[in-house]
Amino acid sequence: MSKLELVFVPAPFVGHLVSTCNFAENLLNRDERLCITILIIRPPPPWDNRIDAYIKRSSSSPDGRRIRYVTLPQAEPPPAEELAKSIEKYFSLLIANYRPHVKEAIITNKWPDSNPKIIGLVIDMFCSAMIDVANELNIPSYLFFTSGAGFLGFLFYLSVWHDQVGREFNRSDADLKIASYAHPVPSKVLPDFASSKEGYDSFREHGVRFKETIGILINTVAEFESHAVNNLASDPELPPVYTVGFLNDLEGQKGKGNSKSEDEEIMKWLDQQPPSSVLFLCFGSVGFFEPPQLIEMAIALERSGVRFLWSIRHPVDAELSKFEEILPEGFLERTKNRGIVCGWAPQVDILAHKATGAFVSHCGWNSTVESVWHGVPIVTWPLYAEQHINAFQLVNDLEIAVELTLDYRMRESDHRENVKAEEMEKAIRCIMDCGNPMRKRIKDMGEICRNALMEGGSSSISLGRFVETILDSKSCS
């Protein structure tokens, strides 16, 4: 039986790679003729060093014979001054420099036991330059969008805005009518890149190029982002849209940052807490706060009286002894019977635990997906990237989150006001109130999203449509 190959080019961030690998495994389960090559762009130091560890673990999966990882040679990085202008543009330029390496890998890297026909190049949201490679090799190209449908709609909106206004955004601009959002979007919640000419131009170009693909795959569930998905699917200028989420790494965080005994200690403590009683605070692997903000957070936690599990990632990677120096004097001692402060936290396991009642989150898409999957309501504290517009959507369009802040910017310490303890305490009491209807709403949505991947569910059907498309005689002739 002849094999048919899809080639994936994920962005060099472990969160993007995780979603890509999970999607690849779902595809392999659909048809035994399929095999997949994932081309790895290893970012220059000091960027994400967890990619190699993830590949090593994924390579040992049962589908190891039908999925392979090819690490590309290093490409010339853009000039350092580009990084100072815009991190988003820097990575877009860096990835574009990998075009010849991707082309060479597709042409020369053969499977040891077969010579499958390549039926598609699947690119990440940062990798639109790879459409050039697909065109040169006469291969169909598809977009795999690792964030949500609402944010994808915003990227398409950039061209509309540019045609009307001709410039990047200002945070003083009036509320925006973006079709993929049900409510007008305040300019203060737009991503950082939207107000930077370099980042704005870079993502506007991505959005234009996405339309050149012949299919868009989104890590979301049709029922979850119904307004955004319906808007994208009904746009005649866009290629077909496939909702293939949620794509979760339910096993991937074990042993990432802690020893096994440290993780076990956290989970043992959770086992001793009442159901839905613990507030979990975690802000991603690079989300951190300066000491004055940490003090406000500690005061709010102590005043609220709730049980809590607080993961603190500090710029100097503080250990527990350092926490005592940063947090209010005596805080750890006074709250030791109802709270834990740690460095790394096994987020997936914590969100899955019955004791976890709510999640104070930076609202990155992967964290949002994990929280919804397990039916845990969110308190919004976005920090960078597209997290602010995600948080707006969770609060206003989807109504599964309590707004604490929507416009806190981690990179703007010189112009930013700290969130006060009183504001945080109010949000904590609201989200932990067992009578809050939001708690039932997100549990119901979690069940809908899990069912979407089951046979007959919306994501399962959408994935089936995509597989039928790529196996169509026109694709495989």
- Please tell me the predicted confidence (pLDDT) of residue 49: 67
- Please tell me the predicted confidence (pLDDT) of residue 259: 67
Helix (H, G, I), strand (E, B) or coil at 434: coil
Instruction: Give residue 477's Cα distance to chain centre.
Output: 36
**What's the average model confidence in pLDDT over 331-352?**
95
User: Dihedral sign, CA of 459, 126, 206, 288?
Assistant: positive
Instruction: Give residue 104's Cα distance to chain centre.
Output: 29
**What's the average model confidence in pLDDT over 208-228?**
98
**What's the average model confidence in pLDDT over 364-370?**
97
Active site residues: 16, 124
Helix (H) or strand (E) holding 37: strand 34-40
- Which comes out higher in pLDDT, residue 67 or 53? 67
Q: Is the pTM of this model over 0.85?
A: yes
Q: Which of 138, 189, 424 is nearest to 304 (CA)?
A: 424
pLDDT of 383 > 70? The answer is yes
Least confident of 142-156, 310-324, 415-429: 310-324
pLDDT digits (tens, 9 = 90+) for 290-337: 999 999 999 999 999 999 999 998 654 444 457 888 899 999 999 999
Cα first-last separation, the chain: 15
Q: Which of 424, 358, 361, 427 is nearest to 391 (CA)?
A: 361
Contact predicate 30/464, CB 8 Å: yes
Mean pLDDT for the chain overall:
92
- Please tell me the predicted confidence (pLDDT) of residue 320: 43
Question: Hey, what long-range contacts does 456-465 have (CB within 8 A, 24 or more apart)?
Answer: 458/221, 458/222, 458/223, 458/243, 459/221, 459/222, 459/243, 459/244, 459/245, 459/246, 462/222, 462/242, 462/243, 462/244, 463/26, 463/27, 463/30, 463/242, 463/244, 464/30, 465/240, 465/242
The rounded percent of the chain whose pLDDT value lies above 70 is 92
- Please tell me the predicted confidence (pLDDT) of residue 318: 45
pLDDT of 198 > 50? The answer is yes
Q: Which domains, ranges and CATH numbers included, belong to the chain?
A: 4-245+454-476 (3.40.50.2000), 260-449 (3.40.50.2000)
pLDDT of 475 > 60? The answer is no
